């Protein structure tokens, strides 16, 4: 396991934990919110690079997958906490939709943990789109000091649907296939041209 941590892809994942820690330090030091915006940009870059390099350099490991999952979940939870702490209007203006989306995401984590005894990181296409939109929303909100309602609705809408798809994958699977792509692929033959095209062009993102 320790030798796997020396792989460049896993070191980049660990770098995301460092950025996350520094972002928390900045929050406690009352740094301007744009400090977090730059932190999210760096985390987004490392989030892309660790997965890309792991596949490109054939460095996919179990510990790397788990570290990536923990980093993603900790960053998301931190982002939620930071919005409540620093921009509470995002929560107070949208309590119902905020809590509904959060509850769905928590249910997704719990179902996966209860069924498979770990926080599985499903590399769903919709989840990847959701993550990108979330990064854009948080970077925009923390950089500008105000949030866009339209971007907020887009973020929670895609996140909600993504969490529902993840729950459906967990409930319909006997084991964790982290590279499933989308639930629809379980009902499509592997030789289907559309399935082949998606896996070829989006699998390494």
Q: What is the mean pLDDT of the chain?
A: 83
CATH topology of domain 4-202: 1.20.120
Q: Is the C-alpha dihedral spanning 196, 200, 201, 205 positive or negative?
A: positive
Q: Which two tokens stand for residue 190?
A: 């592997």
pLDDT band at 2 (very low <50, low <70, confident <90, very high): low
Query: What are 130-150's pLDDT values in tens digits?
Result: 888 999 999 999 999 999 999
pTM to 2 decimal places: 0.79
Is the pLDDT at 193 greater than 70, yes or no? no
The answer to whether the CB of 140 falls within 8 A of the CB of 95 is: no
Is the pLDDT at 179 greater than 70, yes or no? no
Share of the chain above pLDDT 70, in %: 79
Q: Which two tokens stand for residue 171?
A: 């409930």
Query: What are 19-39's pLDDT values in tens digits?
Result: 999 999 999 999 999 999 999
pLDDT at 86: 93
pLDDT at 69: 78
Mean pLDDT of all residues in 153-165 = 92
- Structural domain spans, the chain: 4-202
């Amino acid at each position: 396991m320790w030798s796997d941590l020396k792989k460049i892809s896993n070191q980049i994942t660990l770098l995301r934990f460092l950025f996350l820690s520094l972002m928390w330090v900045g929050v406690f030091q009352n740094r301007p919110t744009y400090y977090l915006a730059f932190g999210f940009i760096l985390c987004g870059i490392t989030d892309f690079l660790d997965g890309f390099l792991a596949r490109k350099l054939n460095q996919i490991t179990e510990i790397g997958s788990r570290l990536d999952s923990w980093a993603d979940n900790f960053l998301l939870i931190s982002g939620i906490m930071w919005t409540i702490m620093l921009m509470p209007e995002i929560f107070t203006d949208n309590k119902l939709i905020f809590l509904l989306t959060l509850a769905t995401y928590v249910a997704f984590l719990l179902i996966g943990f209860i069924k498979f005894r770990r926080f599985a990181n499903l590399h769903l296409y919709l989840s990847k789109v959701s993550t990108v939109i979330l990064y854009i929303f948080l970077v925009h909100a923390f950089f500008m000091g105000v949030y866009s309602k339209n971007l907020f609705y887009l973020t929670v809408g895609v996140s909600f649907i993504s969490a529902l798809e993840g729950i459906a994958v967990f409930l319909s699977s006997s084991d964790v296939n982290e590279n499933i792509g989308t639930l629809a692929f379980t009902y499509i033959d592997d030789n289907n041209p559309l399935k082949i095209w998606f896996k070829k062009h989006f699998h390494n993102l």
